[in-house]
Amino acid sequence: MPTLTTSISDEIRRANATFEANFERGDAAAVAGLYTPNGVLLPTGMEPIEGPAGIQAFWQGAMEMGIKRVKLHTREVEQLTDTAIELGNYTLYGPQDTQLDQGKYVVVWKEQEGQWKLHQDIWNTSQPAPAQ
């Protein structure tokens, strides 16, 4: 929970740093634990992925595909009582820190028991679509 010395933006940046560290360790269960129990992923080109097991399986699959590291950059946060909306940019890295993708995201965060958790998470690439 934000205090007089921390802001909601600080809390979300801290949660994002935990997401990045868990991802880099290859710990999909810890990544999934950062979401609310009824959290939803809205990945490009896929149906929504709901709940802890689905979220964990998605992130485990991303790790197995060769994504080794995620970098999240918060651009803006707007707080509405126990909900916050974050706009940001991401970069995905593979082996030897090769950049695989970059794009933007919106996350709806919910405060639960004094902690901010990802609730709804949508992103898409900023890279051009492959030529047809």
Tell me: pLDDT of 6 over 80. no
* Residue 62 · residue 106 · CB < 8 Å: no
Whether residue 5 is predicted with pLDDT greater than 90 in this model: the reply is no
- Residue ranges of domains in the chain: 8-125
Percent of the chain whose predicted confidence (pLDDT) is above 90: 87
User: What CA–CA distance (Å, rounded) separates 25 from 18?
Assistant: 11
- The pTM score is 0.92
What does the mean pLDDT of the chain come to?
A: 94
**CA-to-CA distance for 129 and 132, rounded, in angstroms?**
9
Task: Say which CATH architecture domain 8-125 belongs to.
Answer: Roll (3.10)
- pLDDT tens digits, one per residue of 14-56: 999 999 999 999 999 999 999 999 999 999 899 999 999 999 9
